[in-house]
Amino acid sequence: MTGTEIYKRTPAYEREASAIRLHAPEWKLLLAYDGQRSLAEVALSAEVSFADALPLTEKFLGQGWIEEQPITLDQYLKRTGAPSVSAIGSAIPPAVVLHSPRPKTTVLPPLPDSFATEKVAASPLESPIVTHAKPPGGLLRLDALVHYLISLADNHALGQILVYRVFLRVPPELLQEEDIASVHLVDDTSVIRGEKLQQAIANAVRKLTQRVLPSSVFAPA
């Protein structure tokens, strides 16, 4: 995607809208596709960085909720700031990638290819039990947590069920305190800030897998 594409919501979206569950920033982006503005313009209006809008747009395309609108060459050239076709003849200028100004956000490190796991040995009751290797004040990344748990299972589908088993052990009131209504098992960009909830999740992971959460599931605050 170059950012010049124009998308609009599909009839399939209209049928499924009442059943769709998204986080608020995702709704803001999805509802901004109007069949008129380019992806870059839509991202700007929805206050989403272009880098963040790209995977979300791919997700919406995959779900069939949006589709690309074809535009004429003149419209395309106008959007890229190139001269009109009549001025340049039939030559097509190279595509121009439009970027929105990047707001200051915390840059999360990419997910590592493999996770260093540490098995927790049986410890005497007097010793504190280490459940996670977290940097001070760190944020727990849900996408990294899901990715890690899936890596522990025999296959992807069973890994998603393992994630479910973990969250069944997390006290619901802690999730409510952080306003977490759901976890997406693909590309959930949410982070968990609360220490209590992080500890509850780490405890659940340890209980089910006998493993300590690796530091790679945490991002700096």
Partner 1 sequence: MPLHERDIHYFLEVTLAYLNKITGHEIVLRDPTIEFQSLVFSTYTGLIHLSGDVQGFVYLTASQPFLRQLYTARHSHGRFAEENCLDVMNDITNEIAHNVRRRFGPALHASEPHIFSTVPDDPIEMPPAVFVQPFSWRNELGYFVLGLTSSESV
Which residues here bind partner 1, judged by CB under 8 A?
12, 15-16, 19, 21, 59, 63-64, 153, 157-165, 167-170, 172, 175-176, 180-187
Our CB check for partner 1 shows the closer of 98 and 204 to be 204
Q: How far is the CB of 172 from partner 1 (least distance, A)?
A: 5
Question: Alpha-carbon distance 48 to 54, whole Å?
Answer: 10
Question: Alpha-carbon distance 191 to 193, whole Å?
Answer: 6
Our CB check for partner 1 shows the closer of 48 and 166 to be 166
Question: Are residues 36 and 132 in contact, defined by beta-carbon separation less than 8 angstroms?
Answer: no
Q: Which amino acid is at 27?
A: W
Bridge partners (DSSP) listed for residue 118: 212
Our CB check for partner 1 shows the closer of 64 and 93 to be 64
Q: How far is the CB of 220 from partner 1 (least distance, A)?
A: 26
Our CB check for partner 1 shows the closer of 80 and 190 to be 190
In this structure, the dihedral spanned by the alpha carbons of residues 22, 23, 24 and 26, taken in order and rounded to 10 degrees, is: -70
- DSSP H or E segment with residue 51: helix 50-63
Q: What are the CA-CA distances from residue 58 to residues 23, 24, 39, 55, 67 (Å)?
A: 16, 17, 11, 5, 10
Our CB check for partner 1 shows the closer of 41 and 188 to be 188
Q: How far is the CB of 84 from partner 1 (least distance, A)?
A: 39
Q: How far is the CB of 28 from partner 1 (least distance, A)?
A: 19
Q: How far is the CB of 205 from partner 1 (least distance, A)?
A: 14
Q: How far is the CB of 102 from partner 1 (least distance, A)?
A: 27
What secondary structure does DSSP assign to 64-97, as a single string?
TSEEEPP--HHHHHHHHTPPPHHHHTTPPPPP--
Our CB check for partner 1 shows the closer of 108 and 174 to be 174
